[in-house]
Structure 1
Amino acid sequence: MSSSSPSTRIPSFPLAQQAQIIRAHQRDLIHVSSLREQTENILRSWFGTRWLTRFDKEVDLSVRLIYHALTTGRAIQTLGEEYTNIWIHPKWARSPRIRAALILLSTLPSYVLARLGPPLYSRYPRSKGIVTALEVAGEVNLAVFYISGVYYRLVRRLLGVPHISATPIDPNTRPPSYSLLGILILVRMGYRLLSYLRARSPQLAPGPAPALLVLTNRNLDDRPVSTLLKYDPEADLDSLDENLSVLDLETIPASVRAGRTCTLCLEERTSSCVTECGHLFDWNCIYNWGRERAECPLCRQSLNLTRLLPIYNL
């Protein structure tokens, strides 16, 4: 005689909706930002602003690693996923390698590019093309997500790790659509591609000769601009290297570069800006200083972060 007890089966959960994934991601960003700000306040009181400015990227990396290690690394929900009631599919959450890959691939590449990006580009110019290709791939993934709504991050798409939801799908309710955002991203990328092709093709892009002639015929401090750019008006315009109009730090004499030291981090300025009182600092240094003290570190005049003026090529 067969048993009449109902058969048990594992419940099936639907994939998380776009709105749930987006809200979870935003919520995680808020919590990570709050945790980083509290960590920076503690480290600033212990070691000072100069130390924090020097190791700000390492602090950011450590905070993100700790946050995701305590959540995704332990196969539990992040605060954002808990807020929207979604989680990683158990098929992949049970794998320690998948969880480790999700954490490391989401944090380490951005840190390496932020810390080693400029020296890497100068030594290996082709590396910049690889980074650009990764950025384009991330934008394409985001556009596809807004249209299809499965993988918000490129890392999750590469690993094939989706989110599932405990909220049942209501057949009488139509979820919000973000397809328009995906289409707009694709349109923007198409425009950037067209601009790039115009810049590379002499037939599509107008030559820079007219604008350059107007520039080099002017004077700056009683000196012709052509002498500052090392440009000869009699030379062939087609053979002119446009990079001469951009400041190259390697061509600056050592005696001059010694005067480019930021007084806060004691390193050479890479992104100079000037305060209202006329003092030069590195942008990240003075910005982090201004968040703690609203005064110039040199003359003690009032400092307004919204009035900082970035200075290029100086």
Structure 2
Amino acid sequence: MTSAQGSESLVLPQFPNAQQAQIIRAHQRDFFYASSLKEQTENILRSWFGSRWLMRWDKEVDLLSKLVYHGFTTGQAIQSLGEEYTDIWSTSTTDGGFPSPRRRAALIFLPAFPAYLLSRLGTKLTTRSSRFAKLVHQLPTILDVVSEVNLALFYFRGVYYDISKRLIGIHFVSSIAENPNVRPPSYSLLGVLIALRLLHRLSSLFRSSKPLPPKSELEGTLLMLKTEKTQALRDPTLASIDETLVTTILANPPDDSAPPVPAEEDDYTALRFGSISEAERARRSCSLCLEERTASTSTECGHLFCWSCIVGWAKEKAECPLCRQSITLSRILPVYNL
């Protein structure tokens, strides 16, 4: 065989596209390791600075953990732990090679920074009078719907699991040869279920935005009160406690860096501590800050916390830290005599 014939017969290996199951497992593994890194970082910071400080900077800790994990894997142009577990590699859709440094930087920052900025802006913009504030409060819902649409497309097509990779143009190839005798599993049913859920959300939004004509002035008043209550339940920023908007109460959050106020000096605790035994006071500790409660607040499930502690917790994770029952900011109850 001549050299010309040898060059014509030389064929470079072509790596197959990663299967849906490989991409899903890789994403689950990466999420697990990033969450483990955040949990270990929180344990260290909690032992150094305390729970109150950690609750104040929880968003920054979450952002830093994601940047560190993906920076030392994707940023170094190597496989993440999840990609290594499933033997897949990220490649560019334009030239089929490794992602460029700019695309790798976008893969690191794009999934983490928008969610962080929206969460911080959402806590700062407590008023909904301006158009910008309304847009900021609506953006998380819009992004959630867009992510669900992208996930449904992934279950149908099996290419882009993450919307950031779709925007940047990154897909996965597998180093494992395809077996022609084995049919890969299909996840189209999950795509159908997500599409049905999106249609249900769309129909619910349409029904809620369509006004119902009242038959009388009394019915109109009842309808208005019911609408305000429904909006307050759906949007915590419209809820009120003792005829005061929650947004007004949260407009000036307490300084977490300041030393905690003793229970005797708390304006929102109506107790005579002189008549309370030390054993009883020991049971007044908040399970979040591990200190004696101030401005005691009860959740729907009956557990008691400091007002600032449970509000800060519920804004990040809407569930009771003790029993995991769901928490709604409009339904927490200040209890001054407990």
1:126 equivalent in structure 2: 135
- In the alignment, is the contact (CA less than 8 A) between 1:143 and 1:182 conserved in 2? yes
2:283 equivalent in structure 1: none
Determine the C-alpha separation between the residues in 2 that align with 1:138 and 1:121: 26
2:299 equivalent in structure 1: 273
- In the alignment, is the contact (CA less than 8 A) between 1:273 and 1:308 conserved in 2? no
Q: CA RMSD in A?
A: 4.0
Structure 2 unmatched ranges of 5 or more:
233-238, 255-265, 270-285, 315-319, 334-338
Determine the C-alpha separation between the residues in 1 that align with 2:146 and 2:126: 19
3-state DSSP of counterpart to 1:122: coil
1:283 matches 2:280: no
1:147-171 residue CA offsets vs partner (Å, 9 max, x unmatched): 1100001111111211111111111
2:227 equivalent in structure 1: 242
2:176 equivalent in structure 1: 167
1:76-128 residue CA offsets vs partner (Å, 9 max, x unmatched): 10000000000111646341110011111011112122222243463511233
Q: CA deviation at 1:52?
A: 1.4
TM-score by length of 2: 0.68
Deviates more, 1:242-251 or 1:57-66: 242-251
Describe the shift of the 1:251–1:152 C-alpha distance in structure 2 as closer, same or farther (beyond 3 A).
closer
2:185 pairs, out of 169, 176, 182, with 176
Q: CA deviation at 1:129?
A: 3.2
- In the alignment, is the contact (CA less than 8 A) between 1:53 and 1:284 conserved in 2? no
Letter of the structure 2 residue corresponding to residue 6 of structure 1: G
Letter of the structure 2 residue corresponding to residue 97 of structure 1: R
- In the alignment, is the contact (CA less than 8 A) between 2:17 and 2:173 conserved in 1? yes
Q: CA deviation at 1:235?
A: 7.4
Determine the C-alpha separation between the residues in 2 that align with 1:242 and 1:38: 44
1:7-54 residue CA offsets vs partner (Å, 9 max, x unmatched): 344321111100000000001111111111111111122222222121
- In the alignment, is the contact (CA less than 8 A) between 1:54 and 1:265 conserved in 2? no
1:135-188 residue CA offsets vs partner (Å, 9 max, x unmatched): 211100000101110000111111121111111111110000000000000001
2:23 pairs, out of 2, 17, 21, with 21
3-state DSSP of counterpart to 2:299: strand
3-state DSSP of counterpart to 1:88: strand
2:108 pairs, out of 70, 80, 103, with 103
Determine the C-alpha separation between the residues in 2 that align with 1:254 and 1:160: 41
1:3 matches 2:3: yes
Give aligned-pair identity as a percent: 47
Determine the C-alpha separation between the residues in 1 that align with 2:105 and 2:221: 56
Describe the shift of the 1:94–1:309 C-alpha distance in structure 2 as closer, same or farther (beyond 3 A).
closer
1:296 equivalent in structure 2: none
3-state DSSP of counterpart to 2:59: helix
Q: CA deviation at 1:312?
A: 3.9
Describe the shift of the 1:48–1:194 C-alpha distance in structure 2 as closer, same or farther (beyond 3 A).
same
- In the alignment, is the contact (CA less than 8 A) between 1:272 and 1:312 conserved in 2? no
Q: CA deviation at 1:278?
A: 4.1
